[in-house]
Structure 1
């Protein structure tokens, strides 16, 4: 009886300790209104420069991520890309709420998400609650990566922004997985779109697509900014506090720039 109990305990522990490695791509796309384009890009007189700036804002290059997820923990890690093109002009990067730049860590026991940010040389840890979305299941289905997937819809509020969310999930994988840092729905999500439409701006879409799945990844150690920065004791702040810190830092930088400009003119 003791041996049977031990075997059941080991098997249960193995299931709970499963770690999935998921490679995915985030593609941002915006279609601005003609009025918005004229208002914010009309002052760029060079036709090619204006075209390039609009294209960078509407269709920035996609971002690659590796997600590591268990039932208890989650890491999202942006994969840096190296552009060796000789004539590269650089470009914009655009992420989306729940899947920001760099590395994030989620604890599903406390329902908290953490990420380290650098504001002009000073580092902080931003703490976000892991939201639980209310999902509406639909009758729509299709196939992704050989799996039959079902469509679910929801809304996701992040700060002042409210996204409409479409998620395509399968029941054929025995694991609950969500590409962004919100509580998983009852299935493995293979594709998402977080989008919004603002009449005076246009429509913004954020397409997230799973490219590859590796179950039972061995020896992965979750990266937790709280533990990594235990010695440095970085200040833990909210997203609103981060926004206020950026506003104040930018105000000071603008003041300094204006002072230097006035000195140069004398």
Structure 2
């Protein structure tokens, strides 16, 4: 009887997966140069031009809720509703490595699956988690009561710094990047470009370990690459423009 009880407890321990629920805030910001502001000079209405500059340089922050285990991860964009009467709408901008909507990551496959819709046709973009070479430093700072360490690397054209802690016994990365040995609580992507300084921030707002979570996997839609999706969008936009021009020609006759 004791052996059965011990076996049951052992099986229960194995079945229970460690899952963290993490809320992160992301922010995209551009400090435009005079050359960067030239992009908006064709907008004649001063108020409309001012709105476009503000929305592109300082769009509203986006929140994501992430569920992560040692084998898989879900990322969900959190919908925000603005009920202000004078609200004119906003331009959404995410940060590198985090996409709108939801995505599913399989760490065993080292892959991320992102469902997309191209004018009514559904696809799933499969992309590899980026493997980066990190420079670990001795610099530290306190985040959410945890002692964190700074590491730096390159992410495409961006300089990237992260702040991670060893105080949480779990490897967590809030982006489509291979996790490091540690729990990342903050990410800063930045680049100085001729249009201005571009900053992208990812900051953990809260985290907790939860008992149960059923991961939402990728749909059965056709799997394509990021390059395929760009071609499909380009083709779809070309067809829509041709239809629009043809209809205008009919109206003129």
Residue aligning to 1:263:
250
SS in 1 for 2:55: helix
Residue aligning to 1:207:
201
Residue aligning to 1:183:
178
Cα separation, 1, equivalents of 2:247 and 2:192: 41
Residue aligning to 2:214:
221
Gaps of 5+ in 2: none
Cα separation, 2, equivalents of 1:197 and 1:102: 28
Residue aligning to 1:95:
94
Cα separation, 2, equivalents of 1:132 and 1:9: 34
Cα separation, 2, equivalents of 1:12 and 1:76: 25
Cα separation, 2, equivalents of 1:210 and 1:139: 21
Q: CA deviation at 1:204?
A: 1.6
Q: CA deviation at 1:235?
A: 1.3
Cα separation, 2, equivalents of 1:195 and 1:253: 35
Residue aligning to 2:21:
21
Q: CA deviation at 1:127?
A: 0.3
Root mean square deviation, CA, Å = 1.7
**Residues 35-81 of structure 1, C-alpha deviation per residue, up to 9 Å, x if partnerless?**
1211x210111111101000000111011110000000000000111
Residue aligning to 1:73:
72
Cα separation, 1, equivalents of 2:204 and 2:74: 15
Cα separation, 1, equivalents of 2:35 and 2:47: 19
Cα separation, 1, equivalents of 2:222 and 2:234: 17
Cα separation, 2, equivalents of 1:128 and 1:183: 12
| Equivalent residues, number | 251
Residue aligning to 1:239:
226
Cα separation, 2, equivalents of 1:101 and 1:92: 13
SS in 2 for 1:240: helix
Gaps of 5+ in 1: none
Residue 194 (str. 1) matches residue 189 (str. 2): yes
Q: CA deviation at 1:26?
A: 0.5
Cα separation, 1, equivalents of 2:190 and 2:211: 35
Residue aligning to 1:134:
133
Residue 168 (str. 1) matches residue 163 (str. 2): yes
